[in-house]
Amino acid sequence: MGSTLAEKVWNEHLVRRGTGDEPDLLYIDLHLVHEVTSPQAFEGLRLADRPVRRPDLTLATEDHNVPTDGAELPIADPVSRTQVETLRKNCADFGVRLHPMGDSEQGIVHVVGPQLGLTQPGTTVVCGDSHTSTHGAFGALAFGIGTSEVEHVLATQTLPLRPFRTMAVNIEGTLRPGVTSKDVILAVIAKIGTGGGQGYVLEYRGSAVESMTMEARMTMCNMSIEAGARAGMIAPDETTFAYLEGRQHAPRGSDWDEAVAYWKSLRTDDDAVYDAEVTIDADELTPFVTWGTNPGQGLPLGERVPDPETISDEESRTATEKALEYMGLRAGTPLRDISVDTVFLGSCTNGRIEDLRTAAGILRDHKVADDVRMLVVPGSMRVRQQAEEEGLHEVFEAAGAEWRQAGCSMCLGMNPDQLTPGERSASTSNRNFEGRQGKGGRTHLVSPVVAAATAVRGTLSSPEDL
């Protein structure tokens, strides 16, 4: 029997196969670090008098707590300032490479890794952040880990893990204009639920996936965790190789040729068997938005807010009632009639140059509605620089949007960019949990083009509504 992509990468990184109740021990190729989940891990090393085993395979950047406006000033919030300063001290003490605020490569960790060419097919990538699944778009086995696991990787460059199951997510067909990979993954999560991928590595396959750019693939893999999966992966192909070639840390010369030959061998074997399969018809998809308080509570934009009274399952009905109460929505309301106060374009899900380009294309020659605030936050300082070289910042500013510096920003409300209680946003981020973007804030997850159209009309909208 053949092997799946995930199984091939797993087997290539086995240090020791577990026996009985013992987990396998896996070698880790790349460890990404930021200021939120690393302080206790570094302190554990310090107390045990241990060094970082492979500082050359460890990269840190400041992203979650950093302000995106006035980043040249001292961080005002004392907790955020302490976390950032602690990361700087830890990286200096342990010899870990750090991209701090003001550095040309600073940004969201899951944007920085790929743009530097550090994320490569067939590698294992971990970070103390659940959206590490982003890197699976390259054919890497990438997943988030907890603080104790962060310490274990820092100390040993290995991680004890139990094997995952595999699920094929087949996405066949052609996406309509205005439909993006963000809509695809929201549709997948709505279909299998926020727990449907639990215990699985999802492998996205099919003609629709093969036609996607690398940035679109990263968006899809990024939100695998929102389906409960441990990771999401896409087999590397010519699109992957074209993205990587020439990047700072990509192989060169004969090393490149050898790497590509190996990367091509990672594709799932024809006779491999998945533990589960799901199929999505790309031809039928339209722009998706969430209406509730988890990423699985989403519908096509042309639908209406669901009515709990029509739901027979008691648990689902109760969850819907609770979500509508928090979101301040009335059953039966057309989704296109829901007005927003804020539009957020950014995050590790949709803060790349392609996302900014598509949104700017919608906003060009339009104005953000008078009663709407729009924040545009590049995923990294390199993305910001590229956007400015292309004049995208001028489009955003002319439309009335705020052009910010790089960081996680309003995705998670651990920095000054937050919603106020009752404020409603259309957000290109990945989570719409209660209070995720600020205490009492209400979040609708959308694609970059839906975000741009929503900013113009003031209600949840798609480009065709303009």
Residue list for the binding site for [4Fe-4S] cluster: 348, 408, 411
- Dihedral sign, CA of 95, 96, 102, 105? positive
- Report the candidate in 410, 416, 370, 340 with the shortest Cα–Cα distance to residue 70: 416
- Dihedral sign, CA of 413, 64, 356, 366? positive
154 vs 55: CA distance, rounded Å: 8
- Report the candidate in 314, 130, 282, 88 with the shortest Cα–Cα distance to residue 191: 282
341 vs 346: CA distance, rounded Å: 16
342 vs 202: CA distance, rounded Å: 32
Whether residue 373 contacts residue 341, with contact meaning beta carbons closer than 8 Å, is answered with yes
The tally of CA atoms less than 13 A away on the side-chain side of residue 424 is: 20
Whether residue 8 contacts residue 166, with contact meaning beta carbons closer than 8 Å, is answered with no
Whether residue 174 contacts residue 208, with contact meaning beta carbons closer than 8 Å, is answered with yes
147 vs 128: CA distance, rounded Å: 7
Between the two ends of the chain, the Cα-to-Cα distance in Å is 52
415 vs 374: CA distance, rounded Å: 17
Contacts of 248 (CB under 8 A, 6+ apart): 116, 117
Contacts of 439 (CB under 8 A, 6+ apart): 413, 418, 421
Whether residue 128 contacts residue 36, with contact meaning beta carbons closer than 8 Å, is answered with yes
Q: Which residues pair with 444 in a beta bridge?
A: 426
Annotated binding residues, written as ranges, equal 348, 408, 411
104 vs 118: CA distance, rounded Å: 16
Angle formed at CA 413 by CA 442 and CA 148, multiple of 5 degrees = 120
- Report the candidate in 38, 197, 223, 214 with the shortest Cα–Cα distance to residue 114: 214
Exposure string over 374-399, b if 16+ CB within 10 A, otherwise e? bbbbbbbbbbbebbeeeebbebbeeb
Tally of CB atoms within 10 A around 261: 9
